[in-house]
């Protein structure tokens, strides 16, 4: 499993792997926001957590359609289905590798972008924590959509259509927790704990659902 994890991280971070594209897209989304809002620094700080979350969400969706595509094209997917290692575990490791290469960098650069958006230190820290807790859920949800669309020639659009309704709660509670931390530290915990619960929920059912979809697509 460690070999699979390291292999997927290496493939995702190399040129054309998709991880760099997501980071650049995240930077581009956040960079154009000040031009649209004008010189009002207070307004910029107020919408900062939402902008970081929307940018991270869209950037995370970019490479999800390719999560199982390489294995489908080179025949490795059939080997994965026949080997003794549970397919659920294989899917979970692939999701972890994808998040490490695509989601974790978004979390790490979010404080710098928060400064760019004139956000308060409390808002920057809260947004970073919510992204750390919530972006894995986006990957796990995306794995289900990617598994459904893996056999389709143009499954990228289908993945987005399937995933977007499911990631809306992640966005809502992530942004709510970030805003609550600025107004009063006490209300930060309820939405943040709900966000963690959503991630744990999809960590339990996401790989299993994706494994079922992958087996169905190979038949």
Q: How wide is the angle at C-alpha 182 spanned by C-alphas 195 and 199, nearest 5°? A: 10
pLDDT at 71 over 70: yes
Taking the domains of the chain in order of start, what are their residue ranges?
2-218
Using a 10 angstrom Cβ sphere, with 0-12 exposed, 13-18 middle and 19 or more buried, the burial of residue 192 is buried
pLDDT at 124 over 90: yes
Identify the pLDDT of residue 191: 93
Q: What is the pLDDT of residues 4-43, one digit of tens each?
A: 788 778 877 775 556 788 888 999 988 888 888 777 788 8
Name the pTM for this structure. Answer: 0.89
């Amino acid at each position: 499993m460690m070999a699979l994890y390291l292999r997927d991280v290496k493939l995702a971070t190399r040129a054309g792997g998709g991880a760099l594209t997501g980071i650049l897209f995240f930077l581009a989304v956040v960079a154009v926001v000040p031009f649209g809002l004008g010189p009002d620094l207070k307004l910029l700080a107020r919408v900062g957590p939402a902008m970081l979350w929307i940018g991270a969400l869209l950037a995370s969706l970019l490479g999800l359609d390719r999560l199982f595509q390489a294995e489908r094209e080179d025949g490795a997917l059939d080997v994965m289905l026949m080997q003794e290692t549970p397919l659920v575990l294989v899917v979970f490791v692939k999701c972890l590798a994808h998040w490490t290469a695509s989601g974790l960098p978004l979390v790490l650069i979010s404080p710098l972008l928060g400064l760019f958006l004139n956000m308060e230190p409390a808002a920057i820290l809260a947004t970073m924590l919510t992204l750390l807790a919530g972006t894995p859920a986006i990957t796990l949800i995306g794995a289900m959509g990617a598994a459904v669309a893996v056999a389709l020639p143009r499954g990228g659009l289908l993945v987005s259509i399937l995933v977007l309704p499911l990631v809306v709660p992640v966005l809502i509670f992530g942004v709510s927790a970030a805003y609550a931390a600025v107004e009063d530290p006490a209300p930060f915990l309820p939405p943040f704990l709900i966000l963690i619960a959503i991630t744990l929920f999809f960590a339990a059912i996401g790989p299993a659902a994706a494994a079922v979809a992958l087996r169905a697509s190979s038949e």
